[in-house]
């Protein structure tokens, strides 16, 4: 009797395993089906990137920022102009729609130069899309960074 | 070969070597060609070990630069070799090949080959985009605080509390910033465009790590389609190269969850150690990492004690992994910086008036969670439904393990929802920004545990 019962159990286990295999196979089919569309998309994106020349590292560093600060030369020239141990502030003209992002990117690009929020604490002030004269600080030097972007050395 | 290429090659080679050394010491890999399949896991483990130790060095006032990196890596490799020489035991078990008919083998090969092909396409496409370096600035948070944190560590040869305080979210732990700063050192300058490549390598390593970990339990016709779907799901693939820490946190938590489940199943201490390392790294990756890691440690240790009683008591050591955040909290406190997120206060949970006033936020969060997980995107909902089905199937065979994992899922999602409930920021911000990033950890954990669950359910029963 026990032998018959064990045989039945074994048969049931086999059935359960077959059922499990079917569920796993169905899952694999659904996963493959769901992945086809996105794989097609990523393959296209990847192929397009593969065909695009790889930029020099210095260009790859700065180019993505053009999305937010179209005048990227201002970032490059500001780094060349402001000494590494100096403090600086950024003032953005009212016409600019993303003044916060412009300031963030100057802070990112100009480190280790110390970014400060107030003009009183800054040794250098970047006037982005606004005249240097409107900054309200006295300066001893004005240097053009890009069209409509200047940096001034504050008089202390 | 340029300085940048050489730096990246050294960085990645050392991380792989460290990871292999740790896995070798744990007996998870052997010194043989077949262990190459563990290269992804080795990279992930090497990244986690170096990340944790460099972060602790940083907090101790040591410059986390190239000399520190090489000394730590060398020490790990030597200690691992010595440890293994003294304890030559191995937990390495080759894959089991169930006998199958020729027809069944061919049928099984089809989803495996398709999955592997999709995975390869997704990985190559991601690398192809990553080497251009254009996506490092794809997210505001990247250039608002993640990259500036790495940059200040790079320039200051340490962590300057005055500068750190001026960067948003100073309370976030610095592991990823430390690793990015190390990359800048190795490539010879502040080159944020190399970060997407490093992030993508880590992502691909994670996918390979999952495959290596579940390989002994799940046939590849089950594991490869699961991983292929996850890898090509738009949000996962797009964020492979992001300089955000959310996806990295998800890798660490998911790999730790797999290691935890393997330990629960076969009680091999090596996987407990592995889970410990990954949970410690997750804790130092992001503030939410401490919560998710602590929760995972708790459910794995509890399930271990339920299953193995006193024999599993030392699994409680897992609970010490999130404690690695203590030096970070002490450092913040010492420098007068916030130790918790200013966006919410846990004490508000005791204020009934405050909570009832915001009841709409709670129901709104649950609704958004449901939409985000189930209805927003076909691929995500397929991952979720198959994970749930696999969990239910596992519950029939291994109810304690399934219960522990289910508890982690529910409590993690509940934790997120509670933050959105009591958070000071607008609910829409949480739902559009936080949920879509932090919430993905839960989906990635689910997606990567699915093949393991199915594989375990398919294994013959064993006496316990």
C-alpha distances in Å from residue B381, one per residue of B160, B253, B455: 44, 20, 21
**Cross-chain Cβ contact B454/A104 below 8 Å:** no
> Across the interface, do B222 and A27 touch by the CB < 8 Å criterion?
yes
pLDDT of B161 > 90? The answer is yes
Residues of chain A with Cβ-Cβ distance to B140 below 8 Å are 101, 104
Average pLDDT on A35-45 reads: 93
Mean pLDDT of all residues in chain B?
Answer: 89
At B397-411, the pLDDT tens digits run: 899 999 999 999 999
Interface contact flag, A54 B233, Cβ < 8 Å = no
For B278-306, what is the mean pLDDT? 93
In tens, the pLDDT along B88-132 reads 766 656 565 565 666 667 777 889 999 999 999 999 999 999 999
- Read off the pLDDT of each residue in A27-40 and give the average, rounded to a whole number: 93
For B375-380, what is the mean pLDDT? Answer: 84
pLDDT score recorded for residue B8 = 94
Cβ <8 Å between A65 and B137: yes
pLDDT at B40 over 90: yes
pLDDT number for residue A75: 92
Distances (CA, A) of A82 to A112, A115, A133, A141, B403: 11, 11, 19, 12, 60
Residue A82 clears pLDDT 90, i.e. is over it: yes
The reply to whether residue B133 touches residue A55, judged by beta carbons under 8 angstroms, is yes
Distance from CA of B245 to the nearest CA of A (A): 18
* Residue A105 distance to chain B (closest CA, Å): 7
Rounded Cα distance, B14 and A153, in Å: 45
Cα gap B327→B318, rounded to integer Å = 17
Q: What is the mean pLDDT of residues A49-71?
A: 89
Query: Does A40 have pLDDT greater than 60?
Result: yes
Alpha-helical runs (H) found in chain A: 2-51, 57-62, 72-81, 99-110
What number is the ipTM of this complex? 0.87
Percent of chain B exceeding pLDDT 70 equals: 95
Parallel, antiparallel or unpaired: strands A124-128 and A139-146? unpaired
DSSP B374: I
DSSP structure string for B278-294: HHHHHHTT-HHHHHHHH
Predicted local distance difference test score (pLDDT) of residue A3: 55
Q: What is the rounded CA–CA span in Å between residue B128 and residue B418?
A: 40
Q: What is the pLDDT of residues B266-290, one digit of tens each?
A: 888 899 999 999 999 999 999 889 9
Contacting B residues, span 97-116, partner chain A, CB-CB under 8 Å? 111, 114-115
- Asked if pLDDT for residue B22 goes beyond 70, the answer is yes
Looking at every residue in chain A, the average pLDDT score rounds to 87
Closest-CA residue of chain B to A33: B229
**Sheet harboring A114-115: ordered strands across?**
A114-115, A87-92, A124-128, A149-154, A139-146
Q: Is A70 exposed, middle or buried (CB count within 10 Å of its CB: 0-12, 13-18, 19+)?
A: exposed
The more confidently predicted of residues B426 and B145 is B145
Please choose, from the candidates A87, A93, A80, A62, the residue with its C-alpha nearest in 3D space to the C-alpha of residue A144.
Answer: A80
Quick one: which of B339, B361, B372 has its CA closest to B438? B372
The tokens for B7 are 């730096």
pLDDT single digits (tens) A102-139: 999 999 999 999 999 888 889 999 999 998 888 888 88
| B251 Cα to chain A: minimum distance (Å) | 20
Identify the residue with better confidence: B140 or B21.
B21
- Choose from B100, B117, B160, B192 for mutation: most chain A CBs within 10 A: B192
Give the separation between CA B139 and CA B400, rounded to whole angstroms: 40
Q: Which residue of A has its CA nearest to B150?
A: A108
CA pair distance B14, B19, nearest whole angstrom: 8
Give me B453's structure tokens: 């669950």
Query: Coil, helix or strand for A10?
Result: helix
Output b/e per residue, B393-429; b: 16+ Cβ within 10 A: bbbebbeebbbbbbbbbebbbeebbbbbbbbeeebee
Q: What are the Cα distances from residue B75, in Å, to B79, B328, B458?
A: 6, 23, 41
- The residue with greater pLDDT, B252 or A140, is B252
Range with lowest mean pLDDT among A9-23, B186-200, B234-248: A9-23
* pLDDT exceeds cutoff 80 at A11: no
Nearest to B237 among A27, A42, A108 (CB): A42
CB < 8 Å from A in window 114-153 of B: 114-115, 118, 121-122, 124-129, 131-138, 140, 143-144, 147-148, 151-152
Q: Residue ranges of the domains in chain A?
A: 1-52, 58-154
In this predicted structure, the answer to whether residue B179 has a pLDDT above a threshold of 80 is yes
Residues 6 or more apart in contact with residue B459 via CB below 8 angstroms: B217
* Residues in chain B within 8 Å Cβ distance of A79: none
Instruction: Collect all residues of chain A within an 8 Å Cβ-Cβ radius of residue B137.
Output: 64-65, 67-68
| Predicted structure pTM score | 0.92
Q: What is the pLDDT of residue B340?
A: 81
pLDDT at position A7: 55
- Rounded to the nearest 10°, the torsion over CA A21, A22, A24, A27 is 170
Chain B: residue whose CA lies nearest to A106: B143
In angstroms, rounded to a whole number, what is the distance separating the alpha carbons of residues B262 and A156?
66
Question: What is the rounded CA–CA span in Å between residue B69 and residue B15?
Answer: 10
Cβ contact A35–B228 (<8 Å): yes
pLDDT at A13 over 60: no
Interchain proximity A49–B379, CB inside 8 Å: no
| Whether B46 contacts B10, CB under 8 Å | no
Of B232, B450, B458, the CB nearest to A38: B232
Q: Which residues of A touch B132 (CB under 8 A)?
A: 49, 52, 54-55, 60
What phi-psi label fits residue A93: left (phi over 0), alpha (psi between -120 and 50 degrees) or beta? beta
Residue numbers in A near B222 (CB within 8 A): 24, 27-28
Residues 6+ apart with CB under 8 A from A5: none
Task: Judge whether residue B463 has pLDDT over 60.
Answer: no
Question: A101, B140: Cβ pair inside 8 Å?
Answer: yes
- % of chain B exceeding 90 in pLDDT: 62
- How many Å separate Cα A55 from the centre of its chain? 17
- Predicted confidence at residue B90, as pLDDT, reads 63
Q: How far apart are the first and last CA of chain A?
A: 103
Query: Which positions in chain A touch B147 (Cβ < 8 Å)?
Result: 108
Task: Identify the burial level of B33 via C-beta atoms within 10 angstroms of its C-beta, where 0-12 means exposed, 13-18 middle and 19 or more buried.
Answer: exposed
């Amino acid at each position: 009797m026990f032998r018959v019962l064990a045989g039945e159990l074994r048969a049931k286990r086999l059935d359960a395993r077959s059922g499990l295999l079917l569920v796993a196979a169905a899952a694999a089919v659904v996963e493959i089906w769901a992945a086809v569309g996105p794989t097609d998309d990523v393959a296209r994106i990847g192929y397009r990137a593969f065909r695009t020349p790889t930029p020099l590292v210095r260009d790859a560093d700065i180019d993505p920022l053009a999305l937010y600060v179209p005048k990227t030369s201002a970032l490059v020239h500001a780094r060349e102009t402001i000494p590494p141990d100096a403090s600086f502030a950024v003032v953005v003209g009212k016409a600019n729609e993303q003044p916060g992002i412009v300031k963030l990117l100057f802070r990112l690009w100009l480190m280790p130069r110390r970014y400060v929020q107030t003009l009183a604490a800054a040794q250098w002030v970047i006037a982005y899309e606004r005249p240097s004269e409107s900054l309200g600080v006295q300066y001893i030097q004005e240097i053009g960074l890009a069209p409509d972007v200047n940096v001034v050395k504050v008089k202390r | 070969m340029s300085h940048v290429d050489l730096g990246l090659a050294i960085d990645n080679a050392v991380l792989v070597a460290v990871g292999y050394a740790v896995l070798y010491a744990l007996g998870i890999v052997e010194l043989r060609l077949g262990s190459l399949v563990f290269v992804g896991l080795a990279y992930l483990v090497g990244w986690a070990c170096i990340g944790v130790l460099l972060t602790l060095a940083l907090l101790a006032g040591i410059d986390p630069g190239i000399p520190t990196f090489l000394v730590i890596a060398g020490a790990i490799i030597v200690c691992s070799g010595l440890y293994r020489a003294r304890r030559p035991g191995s937990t390495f078990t080759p894959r089991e090949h169930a006998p199958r008919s020729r027809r069944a083998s061919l049928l099984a090969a089809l989803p495996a080959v398709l999955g592997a092909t999709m995975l390869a396409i997704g990985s190559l496409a991601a690398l192809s985009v990553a080497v251009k370096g254009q996506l490092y600035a794809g997210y505001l948070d990247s250039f608002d605080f993640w990259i500036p944190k790495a940059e200040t560590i790079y320039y200051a040869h340490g962590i300057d509390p005055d500068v750190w305080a001026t960067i948003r979210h100073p309370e976030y732990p610095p592991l990823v910033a430390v690793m990015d700063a190390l990359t800048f050192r190795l490539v010879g300058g502040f080159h944020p465009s190399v970060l997407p490549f490093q992030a993508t390598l880590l992502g691909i390593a994670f996918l390979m790590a999952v495959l290596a970990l579940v390989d002994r339990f799940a046939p590849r016709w089950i594991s490869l389609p699961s991983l292929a779907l996850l890898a090509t799901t738009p949000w996962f693939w797009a964020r492979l190269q992001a300089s955000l820490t959310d996806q990295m946190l998800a890798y660490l938590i998911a790999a730790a969850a797999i290691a935890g489940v393997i330990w629960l199943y076969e009680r091999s201490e090596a996987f407990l150690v592995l889970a410990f390392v990954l949970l410690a790294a997750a804790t130092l990756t992001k503030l939410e990492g401490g919560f998710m890691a602590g929760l995972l440690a708790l459910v794995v240790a509890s399930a271990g004690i339920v299953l193995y009683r006193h024999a599993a008591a030392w699994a409680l050591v897992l609970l010490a992994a999130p404690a690695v955040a203590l030096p970070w909290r002490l450092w913040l406190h010492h420098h007068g910086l916030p130790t918790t997120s200013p966006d919410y206060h846990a004490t508000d949970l005791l204020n009934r008036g405050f909570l009832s006033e915001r009841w709409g936020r709670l129901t709104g969060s649950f609704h958004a969670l449901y939409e985000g997980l189930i209805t927003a995107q076909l691929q995500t909902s397929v991952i979720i439904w198959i994970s749930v089905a696999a969990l239910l199937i596992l519950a029939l065979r291994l109810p304690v393990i399934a219960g522990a994992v289910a508890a982690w899922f529910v409590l993690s999602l509940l934790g997120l929802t509670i933050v959105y409930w009591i958070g000071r920021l607008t609910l829409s911000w949480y739902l559009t920004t936080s949920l879509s990033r932090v919430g993905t950890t839960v989906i990635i954990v689910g997606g990567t545990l699915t093949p393991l669950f199915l594989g375990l359910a398919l294994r013959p029963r064993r006496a316990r």
